[in-house]
Structure 1
């Protein structure tokens, strides 16, 4: 009774950096969405600190909607890219 534990244990030996790079290659729009979300949040915090006369709740709602829209757009583009790779670039048998 031999078990194939070498293959299953090799996935656990993967470091966080190499795992992130592997996942980014599989789905390139995920890091783009994460970076865009972080940039929008940073911009929102900057505008909140140096901002003018807008109410805090209105500012937070606007930033929430913009960040959510960016992430949803990146996910949509990622799905479109995955569908393109799956259905149109595969060689026909």
Structure 2
């Protein structure tokens, strides 16, 4: 039995769609990106990751081909090369993450993030200046 002043939802809750919050946009971009646009943007931001992925696939493919042909030494060399290419890719991902974390202009969504980054930089710069002055008085 419902009371006269009870609130009833206008539409049923749909778990497949995000909730609508007034004044909040879940994306920092004004229009939704397709796969191609996002892939090209990410490749421009960090071009070493796709190169590392291509190197990994090339080493794996050639290593499997050599294994199939019976060239076990060359196959082992290509598997080691694949591991090196995977390490290069992981390093490129981590360097890209660190670079984007240090680049506060990457966030176009507002001044709050820039202000927080500036506040974090000031103590780091002051500490660096103190260390420099201690070494060279």
Measured against the shorter chain, the TM-score band is 0.5 to 0.7
TM-score by length of 2: 0.42
> Runs of at least 4 residues of structure 1 off by over 3 A?
9-12, 61-64, 73-79
2:86 paired residue among 71, 74, 79 = 71
Q: What TM-score, normalized to structure 1?
A: 0.58
Give the direction of change, closer, same or farther, for the CA distance of 1:10–1:66 in structure 2 (3 Å limit): same
Q: Say if 2:35 is the partner of 1:20.
A: no
Determine the C-alpha separation between the residues in 2 that align with 1:76 and 1:68: 12
Q: Identify if the C-alpha distance between structure 1 residues 13 and 65 changes in structure 2 by more than 3 Å, giving closer, same or farther.
A: same
Q: CA RMSD, aligned part only?
A: 3.5
Instruction: Answer 1 or 2: higher relative contact order, Cα 8 Å, separation at least 6.
Output: 1
Q: Which has the higher helix share?
A: 1
Query: Structure 2: where are the runs of 5+ without partners?
Result: 1-20, 103-137
